[in-house]
Amino acid sequence: MTKQTIRDVNWEGKRALVRVDFNVPLEDGRITDDTRVRAALPTIQYLLDHGAAVVLMSHLGRPKKKVVEGLRLAPVAAHLGQLLGRTVKTAPTTTGPEAEAAAQALKAGEVLMLENTRFDAREEANDEGMARELAKLGDVYVNDAFGAAHRAHASTEGVAHFLPAVSGLLMERELAELGGLLENPERPFVAIMGGAKISDKISVITNLLRIVDTLLIGGGMANTFFLAMGHNVGDSLVEANAVGEVNNILAFARERNAEILLPTDAVIADAMSADANRKVVSVDAVPDGWRILDIGPASVAAFSEKIKQAKTVVWNGPMGYFEAAPFAEGTRGIAQAMSESAGRTVIGGGDSVAAVEQMGLADKIGHISTGGGASLELLEGRALPGVVALNDKA
């Protein structure tokens, strides 16, 4: 990694202003999944162990530039305090006199959580005034919020121009894992792409086809490939206006000598419902009035064999309507194959993470990214604003 990290700073007596990604699910003021909070613990603990006072900032949800009581960060601060075994103080605002007073009163070994950055209308506009106000709250800026690094906001990019700016340990690992896939993957290199829409991932697929040996495609996005190949897809989710781009992808794969493997069979249903009538058919035999909701068992077997042979595997996006149990077997099969792989395995955020966690296989995956959108943009080959703004190593 070419960016400075928290290991490059003498923290004794300094205040670390740390951007974390604590955008966690809340129900009745309780965190239902604290994965992102736990992911930031190594950075926070390192700073505390090396004599820093720690000021944390994060967004939570989509408050639309105003204060939303249910999206305050106090419950997250309380939960973090339990994990750290110490009190995490809270500030009533993100910037301004109260936040400044709370930050300046902080002693080495103490932690302060600022209020939700997105309560301030200036955050998402990357307002310079807000960035300067944030810079008053610390001596060194630390970005450990990989999940928000693709956003050029005041707390993720702007503030880095007014303080020495370094990477946290989570950010460092994310960049090493995902960046390493693109720079020097062990081969065979297999990428698995799923999810609903092909239009969301055309650039990612195109970039991956420059690097991978095989690209496996499932989920709703495969339907547009079937349409481009002349198959009837019934009532399946499909993007007819993306057929031209799919043909371009197929041509590019042939040009690059990269293999694209599509499902050969599918689980179809007469409604998008867990109790709908369903059956397994060949992908070229979908009747009118039915829809493809998962890849079939033959496709799971073929995809799993490719994963078994691979030395490097990256996966983003479910194979079907995995939220409903009857249509989760394709996604479950891919998760199982990933967990049994002897190669380097990476899951690039999003619903694929939820799938492996639901199936109890997360601890058998080499790396699970905390950032869906950020990981996709990295795999697309794009620079992340929150990373670009950090100090380069000498």
Spatial CB neighbours of 2, under 8 Å, sequence gap ≥ 6: 392, 393
**What's the pLDDT band for 390 if we cut at 50, 70, 90?**
very high
Q: Do domains 6-173 and 185-379 have the same CATH topology?
A: yes
Residue 9 has pLDDT above 60, yes or no: yes
pLDDT tens by residue, 22-63: 999 999 889 998 999 999 999 999 999 999 999 999 999 999
Q: Mean per-residue pLDDT for 253-264? A: 96
Could you report the per-residue pLDDT of 189-225, keeping only the tens digit for each? 999 999 998 998 999 999 999 999 999 999 999 999 9
Please give the Cα distance from 21 to 378 (Å, whole number): 17
Q: Structure pTM?
A: 0.91
Please list the residues that pair with 178 across neighbouring strands: none
Q: Is 16 helix (H, G, I), strand (E, B) or coil?
A: strand
Each residue of 69-105: pLDDT tens digit? Answer: 999 999 999 999 999 999 999 999 999 999 999 999 9
Q: Please tell me the predicted confidence (pLDDT) of residue 124.
A: 97
Could you tell me if 193 and 216 are in contact, meaning their C-beta atoms sit under 8 angstroms apart? yes
* Alpha-carbon span 153 to 136, nearest angstrom: 17
pLDDT of residue 336: 95
CATH number attached to the domain at 6-173: 3.40.50.1260
Helix, strand and coil content of the chain, in percent to the nearest 5, comes to 40, 15, 45
Q: What is the mean pLDDT of residues 231-240?
A: 96
Distance CA 271, CA 276 (A): 6
Separation of CA 377 from chain center: 10
pLDDT of residue 16: 98
Question: What pLDDT is recorded for position 312?
Answer: 97
Give per-residue pLDDT as tens, 153-194: 999 999 999 999 999 999 999 999 988 888 889 999 999 999
CATH architecture for segment(s) 185-379: 3-Layer(aba) Sandwich (3.40)
H or E element: which one contains 269? strand 265-269
Residues 6+ apart with CB under 8 A from 78: 88
Which residue ranges make up each domain of the chain? 6-173, 185-379
- CA atoms of 132 and 160, how far apart (whole Å): 10
Provide the pLDDT for residue 351. 79
**Residue 37's beta-bridge partner residues?**
none
CA-based max dimension of the chain: 69
Helical residues (DSSP H) of the chain, grouped into ranges: 35-49, 74-84, 97-104, 128-135, 169-183, 202-208, 221-228, 243-256, 297-309, 329-340, 351-358, 372-379, 385-388
Q: What distance in Å separates the CA atoms of residue 155 and residue 135, rounded to the nearest whole number?
A: 9
Contact 194, 376 (CB under 8 A): no
Give the pLDDT band (50/70/90) at residue 1: low
For the chain, what is the mean pLDDT? 95
Q: Which residue has the tokens 């880095």?
A: 160
Q: Which one, of 175, 112, 117, 178, lies nearest residue 144 by Cα?
A: 175
**Which pLDDT tens digit goes with each residue over 306-363?**
999 999 999 999 999 999 999 999 999 999 999 999 999 999 877 788 888 888 999 9
Annotate 154-203 with three-state secondary structure.
CCCCHHHHCCCEEECHHHHHHHHHHHHHHHCCCCCEEEEECCCCCCCCHH
Residues with catalytic roles: 36, 197, 350, 373
Strands 53-57 and 140-143 turn out to be unpaired
**Can you name the residues that pair with 167 across neighbouring β-strands?**
5, 143
β-pairing, 265-269 with 344-347? unpaired
Please state, as a whole number, how many other Cβ atoms lie within 10 Å of the Cβ of residue 174.
28
**pLDDT at residue 265, as a whole number:** 98
Q: Please state, in angstroms and rounded to a whole number, the distance separating the CA atoms of residues 351 and 357.
A: 10
